[in-house]
Amino acid sequence: MSSAPVRVGLIGLGTVGQGVVRVLKTNAEEIARRVGRPVVITHASTRDLGRKREVDLNGITVVSDAMSIAADADVDIVVEVIGGHTVARDAIMAALARGKPVVTANKALLAEDGNAIFATARKAGVPVAFEASVAGGIPIIKAIREGLAGNRISGLAGIINGTCNYILTQMTVKGQSFADALADAQRLGYAEADPTFDVEGVDAAHKLSILASIAFGIPLSFPAVACEGITRITAQDIQIAQTLGYRIKLLGIAKRGAAGVELRVNPTLIPDDHLLAKVDGVLNSVLVQGNALGQVGFYGRGAGGDATASAIVADLVDVARGLGADPRHQVPALAFQPESVQELPLLPISQIESCYYLRLRVADEPGVLKSLTGILAGHDISIEAILQKEPRGEDDATVALITDRVPEHRFNEALAAMQALPFVREGAARIRVEHFKD
């Protein structure tokens, strides 16, 4: 094996790209001690050549054309950190076509187009590494794909969007409204000017589909993820949940059962003594359930230039060490050998089973609870906890309850029946509940 430096072409010089430049320089000696030779960025591309960067680009040939990086004969490995679909996809495909391994943080691209990208990489006999695509610097891809390889994984749940976790934490700690907490997050740079992808759960759904694929050995199935964001969570629901012993988190949840696989992103009540409930602010955390190990958990920084760069450089070390190796010894991109990746039935959301938190505004009159509990009993739904709050002044009363496990369609039927009652006001809140029992 050569001792010449490994030459990296970096597509993108935004926050993450600059993080990669900085981490590779700062830790150059450690990285060379790990790989056996230096790993250096020789080429980089950016749309905005004139912009001043906070990192030292000395020694790096900076160009405006991403495709030229992918095509450059002097680049051994291509790192893609521009995000998006068009240029990123073209550059990745071009690099693979030239036999160059690729490292990417692009969860949206992989979730939506990964099956084709991994097939191309396989034909080329080179890896596409993507540790940075989920949960920033937490090595969750490697942990699930390799570290838990002895297990049949039955499910996983994760706080995998730092923006939503920051907003929900602020709403919990400060009693803020969603709108106020979002505005704070935007001011601090934790949320984009257009926060839709984060707060509607789309980003988490991208990441969840990647995790589910490597956990279960199924193709990437982003369109099948049932996705619900946090925009309708109120400070009142967070406060009632706390009274009942729960915290509200946006979770990505993947489960594999006899009937099929369920994939969903939704706000979730979780017991406040559970470790996931303690993961606050922009931290990420993932919990995995395996049949040999039981539950295992991971937490750390899910975003930020250097944390994401940590994962990209870890991939670079793996890929650099494997340059020139026989591809038959590679870890398969999606954890399972490509011919063993299997489609499994994906459950529609109406078929999933869950516990539910329900909050209703009701007129303050006799017999209300009797009618509501009667409807639940009539739909064979047990109640785990119930809370009635008296009206203040001329307000309506509030009834909140937590049910036992029930299929979603049956819960919805009961909810519709309750909402048809004359004393039930508009504006019910319904949030799923997870207890993470083994």
150 scored as a contact of a second copy (CB under 8 A)? yes
Q: Is the dihedral of CA 218, 222, 226, 229 positive or negative?
A: positive
Question: Crossing angle, helix 28-35 and helix 305-321, to 10 degrees?
Answer: 30
For 404-425, letters b (16+ CB in 10 Å) and e give eebebeebbbbbebbeeeebbe
Rounded Cα distance between 342 and 291, Å, is 19
Inter-residue contact 309 to 19 (CB < 8 Å): yes
123 scored as a contact of a second copy (CB under 8 A)? no
Stretch that binds a second copy, among 21-29, 55-63, 99-107, 186-194 (CB under 8 A): 21-29
From the list 15, 68, 120, 151, which residue makes contact with a second copy (rule: CB under 8 A)? 151
1 scored as a contact of a second copy (CB under 8 A)? yes
Whose Cβ is closer to a second copy: residue 127's or residue 201's? 127
The first and second tokens of residue 252, run together, are 């990505």
35 scored as a contact of a second copy (CB under 8 A)? yes
Shortest distance (Å) from residue 250 CB to a second copy: 19
**What is the phi/psi pair of residue 285, to 5°?**
-160, 145
Residues 253-312 that bind a second copy (CB under 8 A): 273, 275, 278-279, 290-301, 306-307, 309-312
Rounded Cα distance between 347 and 134, Å, is 23
Q: Is 207 a catalytic residue?
A: yes
Whose Cβ is closer to a second copy: residue 174's or residue 425's? 174
From the list 25, 53, 89, 321, which residue makes contact with a second copy (rule: CB under 8 A)? 321
| Catalytic option among 100, 207, 249, 255 | 207
Say which residues have a Cβ less than 8 Å from residue 149's Cβ, sequence separation at least 6: 335
Residues 168-227 that bind a second copy (CB under 8 A): 217
354 scored as a contact of a second copy (CB under 8 A)? no
Shortest distance (Å) from residue 44 CB to a second copy: 18
CB atoms within 10 A of CB 146: 12
Shortest distance (Å) from residue 297 CB to a second copy: 5
Rounded Cα distance between 143 and 158, Å, is 14
- CA-wise closest residue to 164 among 311, 265, 300, 287: 265
Rg (CA), the chain: 24
From the list 196, 243, 340, 382, which residue makes contact with a second copy (rule: CB under 8 A)? 340
Q: Is the dihedral of CA 300, 305, 308, 313 positive or negative?
A: negative
Whose Cβ is closer to a second copy: residue 243's or residue 340's? 340
Whose Cβ is closer to a second copy: residue 6's or residue 362's? 6
Inter-residue contact 399 to 388 (CB < 8 Å): yes
Which pairing describes strands 153-159 and 246-257: parallel, antiparallel, or unpaired?
Answer: antiparallel
How many residues sit close enough to a second copy to count as binding (CB under 8 A)?
68
Whose Cβ is closer to a second copy: residue 294's or residue 348's? 294
For 30-49, letters b (16+ CB in 10 Å) and e give ebbeebebbbbbbbbbbeee
Whose Cβ is closer to a second copy: residue 128's or residue 431's? 128
Say which residues have a Cβ less than 8 Å from residue 385's Cβ, sequence separation at least 6: 244, 401, 402
Whose Cβ is closer to a second copy: residue 30's or residue 380's? 30
3-state secondary structure of 127: coil
55 scored as a contact of a second copy (CB under 8 A)? no
131 scored as a contact of a second copy (CB under 8 A)? yes
From the list 36, 175, 348, 427, which residue makes contact with a second copy (rule: CB under 8 A)? 36
From the list 8, 10, 31, 212, which residue makes contact with a second copy (rule: CB under 8 A)? 31
From the list 69, 108, 129, 143, which residue makes contact with a second copy (rule: CB under 8 A)? 143
From the list 219, 245, 260, 332, which residue makes contact with a second copy (rule: CB under 8 A)? 332
Whose Cβ is closer to a second copy: residue 202's or residue 212's? 212
**Most distant CA atoms of the chain, gap in Å:** 83
Q: Which residues are known catalytic residues?
A: 207
Enumerate binding residues for a second copy (CB under 8 A).
Answer: 1, 19, 23, 26-27, 30-36, 131, 136-139, 142-143, 146-152, 217, 273, 275, 278-279, 290-301, 306-307, 309-314, 316-318, 321-322, 324-326, 328-332, 335-337, 340
